[in-house]
Amino acid sequence: MRITVFGRGNVGGGLADLWERAGHQVTRLGHDGGDVSDAEVVLVAVPGASIAEALDRLEGLEGKTVIDATNLYGAVPPDGFASNAEFVRSKTNGPTAKSFNINFASLYGRLGETRVRPSNLWCGDGASREVVEQLNRDAGYDPVYTGPIENAAAQEALVGVIFAISEAMGPCVYRFAPPAHL
């Protein structure tokens, strides 16, 4: 797959490494943005509070499949939107998903050490499902669907719980599965 990561830091750069290892072709964009016309999917991994100004620095977004990995700490989504993911969709009018926001980038290098594949949550448009689930698996996660894009605000808010757990136990991965799969 031709992937462009917007934000090439812990999340964007870390996932780019994992996806390249899985055979994907990845372009990495930093603060200055760039043209994403050639991408089959765009990962947005910039500071969550900067989402509006950041997306203005991308060209070729119309109709793209986008995965939004941002979180908001002490900030709110752009005016009129319940979540950053819904704001992203308003800019692209394409298949949009929220994913990779509820796992620590610092553990990307250790995903192969777990007894079972860790879960990674995603919500969003049905048209993004195949790409999002494939990229979850290729990064080392088992994708767990949390519903339509309207659930992105809940998935963004979950980061507070993840931080609380991390304070108690250190950075963790997690697993959601029906009992028969445990």
Ligand X SMILES: NC(=O)c1ccc[n+]([C@@H]2O[C@H](COP(=O)([O-])OP(=O)(O)OC[C@H]3O[C@@H](n4cnc5c(N)ncnc54)[C@H](OP(=O)(O)O)[C@@H]3O)[C@@H](O)[C@H]2O)c1
| Residues at the site binding ligand X, with contacts judged by CB under 6 A | 7-12, 30-31, 45-48, 50, 53-54, 69-71, 101, 104-106
Closest approach of ligand X to the CB of residue 20, in Å: 16
Of the pair 53, 150, the CB lying nearest ligand X is at 53
Of the pair 85, 149, the CB lying nearest ligand X is at 85
Of the pair 5, 131, the CB lying nearest ligand X is at 5
Closest approach of ligand X to the CB of residue 100, in Å: 6
Closest approach of ligand X to the CB of residue 47, in Å: 5
The Cα–Cα gap between 68 and 65 comes to 10
- Residue least distant from ligand X (Cβ): 9
Helices and strands per DSSP (H, E), number in the chain: 6, 9
Closest approach of ligand X to the CB of residue 178, in Å: 26
Of the pair 126, 170, the CB lying nearest ligand X is at 170
The Cα–Cα gap between 90 and 75 comes to 19
Of the pair 83, 126, the CB lying nearest ligand X is at 83
Closest approach of ligand X to the CB of residue 10, in Å: 3
Tokens coding 71: 């979180």
Closest approach of ligand X to the CB of residue 147, in Å: 19
Do the Cβ atoms of 64 and 24 come closer than 8 Å? no
Print burial letters for 108-125: b (CB count within 10 Å at least 16), e (below 16).
beebeeeeebbbbbbbbb
Of the pair 11, 135, the CB lying nearest ligand X is at 11
Q: Amino acid identity, residue 119?
A: S
Print burial letters for 28-46: b (CB count within 10 Å at least 16), e (below 16).
bbeeebeebeebebbbbbb
Q: Amino acid identity, residue 40?
A: E
